[in-house]
Chains A and B, each alone.
Chain A
Amino acid sequence: MAALLEARHVTKIFGGGLLHKKNVTVALTEFSLAVHAEPPSITAIVGESGSGKTTLARTLLGLATPTHGEVRYRGTDLRRLSRAQRRNFLREVQVIFQDPFEVYNPFYKIDHVLETPIKKFRLAASRRAARELIEGTLRGVGLRPEETLGRYPHQLSGGQRQRIMVARAVLLRPRLIIADEPVSMVDASLRATILDSLRQLNQVFGISLIYITHDLTTAYQIGDNIVVMYRGAAVEAGDVEHVVKDPLHPYSQLLVGSVPLPDPEHTWQRDATMVDPADVPVVGLNSCRFADRCPYVMQVCHTALPPLFQTEPRRVAACYRYNDAPILKSQDLGQVLTAPAALPGLEPQTTRGR
């Protein structure tokens, strides 16, 4: 069966053109990822700014067209969806954006964003049924309908606005929600509640989630799987518990080491590998992107792009330090991520402290 949503060798290049040949940004390089509807999972995609996370989200949603490669919804290229297929796509794949203010049309009360999908997809038979559906969904994300409905977006807090966006996405009962940094612009005190709502969606309604973030700790809190991105490509992927506790790729190690600990005796790991990404020269496809920052850099890293080495059934890392492991074709990345039942005893939810 075709995957619910699948990126195949997606490359996205910004800029360029006739006059600005040199001024090119490669946001995604040969990126492949597959999300299956069953079993519902939460995949966290982590990377620093400029790693191509948002481009990935927009490409998966069809809001940006890949320069090369394609994004497929149930086997069909997003650009070739028929009208009916596009309707199904919208019913099954929904989105939560980063900025909880920009997503509201300032002309309307917040009711508008909740009523529109009901109207457009005929989710309710009557006005009353629609109202009940809205109120029920709002309660489901921890909001009181009487405190939110009938207000303008600027009268609500960022956390409330973002939870209404969660409610909007949930109304359609999608199979997959792509959330692009949903909590990065929300007060820290409200992050946990929104993350909890997202987690509940996954568990109660069986909605898969692609959670895109720069914040390793929230990825750890919410994710089942994790994909670490660096400069437009996946450098490590696997079960979140393993990747965070025991990162393989030097960049993942750097990321994990950068998480500040609440311990005054613990000095923040900040060694020579922490280079400002802007200072790093542009690399081609013929060397490891991380080579300039890597403490373990080898000769081969400068001459060839490392493929994904599958060190464990649910674990890949794009680093030549693991070159004794079998090579995984990049389009099979989805298989690595969607096999939680394959490893009994490693179910991460049970051991995780939240």
Chain B
Amino acid sequence: MSRITQLLRFLRHNPRITTGFAILGCMLLLWVVGMATIGTSKAVPLSGPPDLEPSARYLLGTDSAGRQLLPVIIAGMPLTLEVGLLAGGVGLLIGALLGFTAGYFGGPLDTLIRTAADVMLPIPALAVLVVIASTIHTLLSVEVMALVVASLAWMYPTRTIRSQVLSIRTRAYVEVGRFSGESHLDIIFGELVPNLLPFLAASFVGAVGAGILAAIGLEALGLGPQDKPTLGMTIFWAIYYGATLRGMWWWWGPPIVVLILLFMALFSIAQGLDRYTNPRLRRAG
């Protein structure tokens, strides 16, 4: 069986993952077509008359600063996804490192890591992020913002991964691995990580979603990169200029629709991954 038919078969058996990737694919297609035909050069202020309704010339209208909103969406989508991937990836990486260390080795190190995560967990992240972001406001690029978000996104992965590791590290196959001469690192990467892959993948997708959400929260408060037309900043400007009161639905509507689709896609993939690669569900032969 070729790789492609195998992939098709896999997608047919995992409708959730298929749905999620289909939504992401549509968004990617929209972005590629948009980049090719419209580009992002009109996403800056004064590239059109202000406050225009959608029309044949300005497909999604313009905002009060004269930005054309379709180019803004096209430019904002990858920026938002970038923040999410970076924040989610870094957060999960730190969480996985700490979670595996704490769960596998245990002892005082475990107590230290667990306590640190427990202490940090109930602190409202957004409040801390607002403080950090407003302090380094002028330096805030998309990447720095992603790291700021990641700095408070590692506790939950640490906790969940630690508990997963705790539950599987006492399995007999870990002991068999030790007696087959595997080192601790061999055990972690060869025996534990593969079994947690679906979990880690689902955590990653979840972390990306959480990262996007945190970044959008900061941006909607005006604490994002001022010069970049991210989706969150667009929402901020729409609030700032009273777009809701002035009935300018074309300003705040599209970024929200894009975000909803993005979250639906991520959620659907995370759900599908939970069910994926459970070998007991694999068919014989």
Give the B-binding residues of A (Cβ under 8 A).
61, 63, 87, 90, 94-95, 97, 99, 102-108, 113, 116-117, 120-121, 152, 154-155, 165, 168
Residue B173 CB within 8 A of the other chain: yes
Majority DSSP secondary structure for residues of B touching A: helix
Question: Which stretch of B4-12, B58-66, B174-182, B224-232 is in the interface?
Answer: B174-182
The residue in chain A whose Cβ has the minimal distance to the Cβ of B284 is A155
**Min CB gap A65→B, angstroms:** 13
Is there an interface contact between A103 and B176, defined as CB atoms closer than 8 Å?
yes
Residue B194 CB within 8 A of the other chain: yes
Q: Which of A103, A107, A108, A116 sits near B182, CB closer than 8 Å?
A: A116
Residue B282 CB within 8 A of the other chain: yes
Q: What residues on A are CB-neighbors of B194 within 8 Å?
A: 105, 107-108
Is there an interface contact between A107 and B180, defined as CB atoms closer than 8 Å?
no
The residue in chain B whose Cβ has the minimal distance to the Cβ of A108 is B194
Question: Which residues B84-99 have CB closer than 8 A to chain A?
Answer: none
Q: What residues on A are CB-neighbors of B284 within 8 Å?
A: 155
**Min CB gap B199→A, angstroms:** 12
Q: Whole-angstrom distance between the alpha carbons of A86 and B238 in the complex?
A: 67
Is there an interface contact between A116 and B280, defined as CB atoms closer than 8 Å?
no
Is there an interface contact between B279 and A168, defined as CB atoms closer than 8 Å?
no
Q: Whole-angstrom distance between the alpha carbons of A24 and B223 in the complex?
A: 58
Q: Whole-angstrom distance between the alpha carbons of A106 and B281 in the complex?
A: 11
**Min CB gap B26→A, angstroms:** 33
Q: What residues on A are CB-neighbors of B173 within 8 Å?
A: 102-105, 113
Residue B191 CB within 8 A of the other chain: yes
Q: Take A99-B172, A102-B173, A105-B194 as given contacts and tell me if A90 and B179 are in contact as well, using a CB distance cutoff of 8 Å.
A: yes
Is there an interface contact between B172 and A120, defined as CB atoms closer than 8 Å?
no
The residue in chain A whose Cβ has the minimal distance to the Cβ of B183 is A120
Is there an interface contact between A90 and B172, defined as CB atoms closer than 8 Å?
no
**Min CB gap B221→A, angstroms:** 44
Residue B57 CB within 8 A of the other chain: no
Q: Take A106-B195, A107-B194 as given contacts and tell me if A63 and B279 are in contact as well, using a CB distance cutoff of 8 Å.
A: no
**Min CB gap B228→A, angstroms:** 42
Is there an interface contact between B179 and A94, defined as CB atoms closer than 8 Å?
yes
**Min CB gap B135→A, angstroms:** 45
**Residue of B182, B194, B195, B279 contacting most chain A CB atoms (<10 Å):** B279
Q: What residues on B are CB-neighbors of A106 within 8 Å?
A: 195, 279-280
Total contacting residues, chain B, CB less than 8 A: 20
Q: What residues on B are CB-neighbors of A154 within 8 Å?
A: 279-280
Is there an interface contact between A116 and B180, defined as CB atoms closer than 8 Å?
yes
Q: What residues on A are CB-neighbors of B181 within 8 Å?
A: 87, 90, 116-117, 120-121
Q: What residues on A are CB-neighbors of B179 within 8 Å?
A: 61, 90, 94-95
Q: Whole-angstrom distance between the alpha carbons of A84 and B284 in the complex?
A: 42
Q: What residues on A are CB-neighbors of B171 within 8 Å?
A: 102, 105
Q: What residues on B are CB-neighbors of A103 within 8 Å?
A: 172-173, 175-176
**Min CB gap A121→B, angstroms:** 5
Q: What residues on B are CB-neighbors of A87 within 8 Å?
A: 181
Q: Whole-angstrom distance between the alpha carbons of A63 and B172 in the complex?
A: 11
Is there an interface contact between B176 and A168, defined as CB atoms closer than 8 Å?
yes
Q: What residues on A are CB-neighbors of B172 within 8 Å?
A: 97, 99, 102-103
Q: What residues on A are CB-neighbors of B182 within 8 Å?
A: 116, 120
The residue in chain B whose Cβ has the minimal distance to the Cβ of A169 is B179
Is there an interface contact between A117 and B279, defined as CB atoms closer than 8 Å?
no
Q: Whole-angstrom distance between the alpha carbons of A165 and B176 in the complex?
A: 9
Is there an interface contact between A120 and B180, defined as CB atoms closer than 8 Å?
yes
Question: Which residues B49-86 have CB closer than 8 A to chain A?
Answer: none
Q: What residues on B are CB-neighbors of A168 within 8 Å?
A: 176, 180
Q: Whole-angstrom distance between the alpha carbons of A104 and B180 in the complex?
A: 12
Q: Write out, one digit per residue, whether chain B residues 112-131 have a CB within 8 A of any chain A CB (1) or not (0).
A: 00000000000000000000
**Min CB gap A116→B, angstroms:** 4
Is there an interface contact between B176 and A107, defined as CB atoms closer than 8 Å?
no
Q: Whole-angstrom distance between the alpha carbons of A272 and B101 in the complex?
A: 54
The residue in chain B whose Cβ has the minimal distance to the Cβ of A83 is B183
Q: A105-B195, A152-B279 are in contact. List 17 more A-B contacts (CB 8 A).
A: A63-B175, A90-B181, A95-B175, A97-B176, A102-B173, A103-B172, A103-B173, A103-B176, A107-B191, A107-B194, A113-B176, A116-B180, A116-B190, A117-B181, A154-B279, A154-B280, A168-B180
The residue in chain A whose Cβ has the minimal distance to the Cβ of B168 is A105
Q: Write out, one digit per residue, whether chain B residues 163-206 have a CB within 8 A of any chain A CB (1) or not (0).
A: 00000000111011111111000100011001100000000000
